[in-house]
Amino acid sequence: MATLYLQDIRKSFGPTQVLHGVSLDVADGEMIVIVGASGCGKSTLLRIVAGLETQTSGQVVIGGQDVSGLEPADRDVAMVFQNYALYPHMSVFGNMAYGLKIRGVPKAEIERRVKEAAELLGIGALLERRPRQLSGGQRQRVAMGRAIVREPKLFLFDEPLSNLDAKLRVQMRAEIRRLQRRLGVTSLFVTHDQVEAMTLGDRLVVMHGGHAAQIATPMEIWAKPADTYVAGFIGSPAMNFLRGTLSHGGVVATLPGGVSVPLPGRAGADGNEVLIGIRPEHLRPGVGGLSPVIELVEPLGSESVLHGRLPDGSPLTARLPGAVHPEGALALTLPPESLHVFDAGSGKRIEAVA
């Protein structure tokens, strides 16, 4: 158990720079989820922490010790791989014991730790089996067990749930979270799945193009996304963006169709171009706002997702309660308190000034 501190990690593969300086401060026992689309550098970051890749510049500090130049084995970290990487010729016991065996832990101690971890994960009856005789979920548990028995300073998860089917994924997700809380081991968890990220992490790191776009708690990221990328990435269906121009001293945005949208506060000087973001679930039926034409209704039971187009042709998604909604013209209002305002040029969030 330890803290983790990353200072301005940069990484280039030849001329291509994939990490543009990521800094992160992880508290003891914290679960950090690194989330982003593929190619954003999230796996590279994790592998740098593990020591499987060497950063071009920057520092990795685990438990107060600079491990930047150390081999993976000397960093005292354990990693769960996407395909689990269980040695196929070893039994479950052999797989879990291997790291301890190499470190010269006494036999009795190995036995005790493996048994304990196996009980914790509910795979106590499988210790003699080979990995190929296990189901996906069981393999996943063995991979977790291999990490747990090491009692490392840091758990590193590299998309460990993406090879499981949907139902099992939800179940394992909860299990990983419970286990991590119980063991209190500082963890980094890489995923491309935003639901996984929201439910697992104490804090999220949203990666975009080699930058950490935002580092915050899941709710904070949802409520106050730092830029349009984060806003569009977190939340499902994705946030709607409307282009507008500020007027009335910066408290109202005028949309291209001439609709005026009151903002929660002053967002800048008159004439500034802004992007107004509103989550589909925050749109409410009512006159005085947008008037899209609904083209597709997806009933989900207790609520429905409505896909439509605004008069100027831009798409709009709304999530409304109730299962029955007609297609065709609809009037929606924009509650000012649920609006997010972003700079149209940089995409950065503009905090309302009251």
Partner 1 sequence: MDLAEKTRRRRRREAVVTHLCLILGVLIFAFPIYLTIIGSTHDVNTIGRGDVPMVPGGEAVANYTQAWEAGGGRYMGTPAGRMLANSLVMALLIAFGKIAISLTSAYAVVFFRFPGRMVCFWLIFITLMLPVEVRIIPTFQVMVDLQLINTMTGLVVPLIASATATLLFRQFFLTIPDEYVEAAKIDGAGPLRFFRDVVLPLSVTNVAALFVILFIYGWNQYLWPLLIVNDRSLETIVVGLTKMIGGGDSQNEWNVIMATAVYALLPPVAVVLLMQRWFVKGLTETEK
Structure letter (DSSP) for residue 271: T
Determine contact, residues 200/173, Cβ cutoff 8 Å.
yes
Is residue 69 part of the contact set for partner 1 (CB under 8 A)? Answer: no
Q: Helix or strand or coil: residue 225?
A: coil
Is residue 72 part of the contact set for partner 1 (CB under 8 A)? Answer: yes
Given 89, 112, 248, 309, the residue binding partner 1 (CB under 8 A):
89
Given 32, 40, 79, 310, the residue binding partner 1 (CB under 8 A):
79
Please give the single-letter amino acid code of residue 73. Answer: A
CA distances from 141 to 158, 232, 265 (A): 14, 33, 50
Beta bridge partners of 10: 20, 57
Q: How far is the CB of 185 from partner 1 (least distance, A)?
A: 15
Distance between CA atoms of 330 and 292, rounded to whole angstroms? 6
Is residue 85 part of the contact set for partner 1 (CB under 8 A)? Answer: yes
User: Which residue from 221, 166, 171 is spatially nearest to 197, judged by alpha carbons?
Assistant: 221
Binding mask 45-64 for partner 1 (x = CB under 8 A): -----xxx------------
User: Which residue from 199, 240, 191 is spatially nearest to 219, judged by alpha carbons?
Assistant: 199
Q: In the complex with partner 1, which residue's Cβ is closer, 53 or 111?
A: 53
Q: In the complex with partner 1, which residue's Cβ is closer, 78 or 176?
A: 78
Q: How far is the CB of 87 from partner 1 (least distance, A)?
A: 6
Determine contact, residues 43/157, Cβ cutoff 8 Å.
no
Residue 264 token pair: 């929660």
Distance between CA atoms of 121 and 303, rounded to whole angstroms? 37
Determine contact, residues 157/175, Cβ cutoff 8 Å.
no
Q: How far is the CB of 73 from partner 1 (least distance, A)?
A: 3
Q: In the complex with partner 1, which residue's Cβ is closer, 132 or 182?
A: 132
Q: Where are the alpha helices (DSSP H) in 237-302?
A: none
Is residue 136 part of the contact set for partner 1 (CB under 8 A)? Answer: no
- The answer to whether the Cα torsion of 191, 215, 232, 279 is positive or negative is positive
Q: In the complex with partner 1, which residue's Cβ is closer, 40 or 79?
A: 79
Q: How far is the CB of 261 from partner 1 (least distance, A)?
A: 51
Q: In the complex with partner 1, which residue's Cβ is closer, 78 or 339?
A: 78
Q: In the complex with partner 1, which residue's Cβ is closer, 106 or 301?
A: 106
* Candidates 87-95, 228-236, 259-267, 286-294; binding stretch for partner 1 (CB under 8 A): 87-95
- Under rule CB under 8 A, how many of the chain's residues touch partner 1? 24
User: Which residue from 44, 106, 104, 53 is spatially nearest to 75, judged by alpha carbons?
Assistant: 53
Binding mask 96-115 for partner 1 (x = CB under 8 A): --xx--xx------------
Q: How far is the CB of 91 from partner 1 (least distance, A)?
A: 12
- Where along the sequence are the contacts to partner 1 (CB under 8 A)? 50-52, 71-73, 77-79, 81-85, 87-90, 98-99, 102-103, 132, 146
